[in-house]
């Protein structure tokens, strides 16, 4: 009967506490609070505004910001604040789900390639490097052209566009860890390759990969908005921030708020994600935590 080798417990403990500790810094607190409010606003959109996002009111078109419409109305008389809150559902959910799928697949592929090595490693890296050689927007445009416009095509495009960086990062982490003493101890105690990979190596790779995934979410929001701006993202009447900017680009001098507020939401969300990710990365600095312990 064999026993499983112990593995370092510091990183999993840091992973559990880092999201909370990130709020202890001023930028983490501000960015995290903004993201929480944005998510709550998107979830509670039906109860926060008295308007429907898809009901047109042509006599009320192009109304500037006022008490009745804090962000004004668009060219069809629809309340812009309502559409921005519902658009947050589309932009955040599509980007978040796509990055989560890409992160999971990238970690499995990268960990397997880094641990097994040989022909499997070379085959995976050849395929990954093919997508890595092209900009994300180009990969996304090609995939959306094949799959078709809409949220499904956008989700698949974002997932594939960011798969390479998660695969390469996880592979590098596993290759640097698989020769460590605790892995040799687990192997000597009879642990299988699968157990070593998923119980000992992957938990110790989660920190940098998860932070990279969070930072990539900001880029994914921009990519989703870009596809929406080109008319390849969520199709009307489903609102998305990129689609709202696209419709407002031709009305810049007649209703500048139509493009201003969605663009401002995209910019603030991406900055908040990057600031919170930076605070999270600071809290995941293992050597700093050991020195301060």
CATH classification at residue 209? 1.10.3720.10
Give the H/E segment covering residue 32. helix 26-43
Tell me whether residue 255 is in a domain: yes
Asked which of 90-94, 249-253, 281-285 is least confident by mean pLDDT, the reply is 281-285
Q: Taking the complete model, does pTM exceed 0.95, yes or no? A: no
Tell me whether residue 71 is in a domain: no
As a whole number of angstroms, the distance between CA 33 and CA 38 comes to 9
Tokens of 219: 């880029």
Tell me whether residue 65 is in a domain: no
**C-beta of residue 229 within 8 angstroms of C-beta of residue 245:** yes
Tokens of 62: 């192009």
Tell me whether residue 208 is in a domain: yes
pLDDT band at 289 (very low <50, low <70, confident <90, very high): very low
Number of domains in the chain: 1
73 DSSP assignment: B
Tell me whether residue 104 is in a domain: yes
Tokens of 64: 């500037």
Residue 231, phi-psi category: left (phi > 0), alpha (psi -120 to 50), beta (remainder): left
Q: Check pLDDT > 70 for residue 133.
A: yes
The alpha carbon dihedral of 42, 46, 50, 53 has a sign of positive
Tell me whether residue 116 is in a domain: yes
Tell me whether residue 183 is in a domain: yes
pLDDT higher at 102 or 211? 102
Provide the residue range defining the domain that includes 255.
23-43+79-292
Tell me whether residue 225 is in a domain: yes
Tell me what the mean pLDDT of segment 169-189 comes to. 79
Tell me what the mean pLDDT of segment 220-233 comes to. 91
């Amino acid at each position: 009967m064999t026993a499983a080798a112990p593995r370092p417990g510091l990183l999993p403990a840091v992973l559990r506490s880092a999201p909370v500790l990130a709020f202890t810094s001023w930028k983490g607190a501000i960015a995290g609070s903004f993201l929480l409010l944005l998510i709550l606003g998107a979830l509670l959109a039906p109860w926060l505004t008295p308007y429907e996002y898809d009901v047109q009111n042509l006599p009320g078109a192009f109304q500037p910001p006022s008490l009745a419409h804090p962000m004004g109305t668009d060219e069809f008389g629809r309340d812009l604040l309502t559409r921005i809150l519902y658009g947050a559902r589309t932009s955040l959910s599509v980007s978040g789900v796509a990055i989560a799928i890409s992160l999971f697949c990238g970690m499995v592929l990268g960990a397997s390639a880094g641990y097994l090595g040989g022909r499997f490693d070379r085959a995976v890296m050849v395929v990954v490097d093919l997508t890595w050689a092209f900009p994300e927007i180009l990969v996304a445009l090609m995939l959306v052209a094949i799959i078709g416009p809409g949220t499904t095509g956008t989700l698949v495009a974002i997932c594939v566009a960011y798969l390479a960086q998660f695969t390469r990062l996880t592979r590098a982490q596993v290759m640097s860890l698989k020769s460590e003493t605790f892995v040799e101890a687990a192997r000597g105690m009879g642990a299988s390759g699968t157990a070593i990979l998923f119980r000992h190596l992957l938990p110790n790779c989660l920190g940098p990969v998860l932070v990279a995934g969070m930072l990539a979410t900001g880029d994914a929001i921009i990519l989703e908005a870009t596809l929406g701006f080109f008319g390849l993202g969520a199709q009307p009447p489903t609102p998305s921030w990129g689609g709202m900017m696209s419709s407002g680009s031709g009305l810049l001098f007649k209703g500048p708020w139509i493009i201003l507020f969605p663009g401002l939401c995209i910019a603030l969300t991406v900055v908040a994600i990057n600031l919170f990710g930076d605070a999270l990365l600071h809290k995941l600095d293992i050597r700093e935590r050991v020195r301060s312990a």
